[in-house]
Amino acid sequence: MTEPRRRAPRRRISGVLLLDKPAGLTSNAALQRAKRLYDAEKAGHTGTLDPFASGLLPVCLGEATKFTQYLLDADKTYRAVIRLGVRTTTADPEGEVVETRPVEVDPGRVRAVLARFVGETEQVPPMHSALKHAGRPLYEYARKGVAIERAARRVTVHALDLERLEGPDLTVAVRASKGLYVRTLAEDIGAALGCGAYLAALRRLGVGPFSLEEAVSLEALEAMTPEARDGCLRPEEALLAHLARLDLDLEAAWQIGHGQAIWRPGMAVGQRLRLHGPDGRFLGVAEVDADGKVAPRRLVVF
């Protein structure tokens, strides 16, 4: 009897891939395709894009998955196309039309309305979202016609600029904090203009320090040699460029690697640091504890 073929172990590859997710694909489906291309043991992304949306989706492989939170918390930049005069059940193109109204707006009025949404505000997450209630995403309840009470979240819109107003389509550039639902923002803008609206298209242009201009498509990755594909990966510490770097000598690196806190003068309690060993290799992240010592929090495994 022929023995079943054993699959070769997956690669213990690590790094950050800046992926340009296409519209029509879920973030998880895009993640799984990238994971298969790299034959990676472990992979995760740093913030879901709806299937109809496209743009920058940072994908973390291997040890880089330990630091995804730093991009989940980062500011995001989008280009949004808002269809005025129409409301849908989901506030996006995947829902059913529930209302249509005439559109009578001009650029001056639009700019005045957009200015009202800049700054801190509270936003109620939409029912058609991946936010979970009792372990299940809200969209599952919404599909069954069940409404769940949602608490408002404080979000910040740093910039909201008019790029184009052509017919019923309003194109805006948005830069905002984590937690903003652009679909809800589109609905609110339509309500403020008195005509209703839904989010017709969305493209994510930036996440934290990363730009869509640096990203690569799945099709381009598939056409590359394995060596060229590996060359698209950025190191784990690219996620942590905003943290101060602390270089350790051999003894301190050994202590940190064994879970011990080390003393360094002049550190502020709660400060997070990017650690590097005597050879320059990235070791992980530490935080200054209540005693003023640098304590390891998330370390990479070589």
Q: pLDDT tens-digit profile of 59-114?
A: 999 999 999 988 888 999 999 999 999 999 989 998 899 999 999 999 999 999 99
Kindly list the distances between the CA atom of residue 40 and the CA atoms of 1, 61, 242, 282, 300, in Å, as whole numbers in the listed order: 32, 7, 27, 20, 16
Q: Residue 267 in contact with residue 246, Cβ under 8 Å?
A: no
More confident residue, 259 or 302: 259
Asked whether the domain spanning 76-207 has the same topology as the one spanning 15-73+210-237, the reply is: yes
Among the four given CATH numbers 3.30.450.20, 3.50.50.60, 3.40.50.300, 3.30.2350.10, the one describing domain 15-73+210-237: 3.30.2350.10
Question: Which own/partner pairs from 153-156 qualify as long-range (CB within 8 Å, at least 24 positions apart)?
Answer: 153/122, 153/123, 153/124, 153/125, 153/179, 154/120, 154/121, 154/122, 154/179, 155/120, 155/121, 155/122, 155/123, 155/179, 155/180, 156/119, 156/120, 156/121
Note the pLDDT tens digit of each residue in 26-72. 999 999 999 999 999 999 988 889 999 999 999 999 999 999 988 88
pLDDT of residue 134: 61
Q: Residue 120 in contact with residue 191, Cβ under 8 Å?
A: no
pLDDT of residue 266: 86
The mean per-residue pLDDT over the stretch 220-232 comes to 97
**Distance separating the N- and C-terminal Cα atoms of the chain:** 40
pLDDT of residue 10: 79
Among the four given CATH numbers 3.30.70.890, 3.90.180.10, 3.30.2350.10, 3.40.309.10, the one describing domain 76-207: 3.30.2350.10
pTM above 0.75, yes or no: yes
Instruction: Report percent pLDDT > 90 for the chain.
Output: 77
Note the pLDDT tens digit of each residue in 111-150. 999 999 999 988 877 766 666 656 666 566 666 666 667 6
Q: Residue 234 in contact with residue 209, Cβ under 8 Å?
A: no
Domain boundaries, the chain: 15-73+210-237, 76-207, 243-299
Model confidence at 21: pLDDT above 90? yes
pLDDT of residue 71: 87
Catalytic annotation, residues: 50
Q: Residue 252: beta bridge partners? A: none
Q: What are phi and psi of 35, to 5 degrees?
A: -60, -40
Tell me which CATH homologous superfamily contains domain 243-299: PUA domain (2.30.130.10)
Q: State the greatest distance between any 2 C-alpha atoms of the chain, in Å, as a whole number.
A: 78
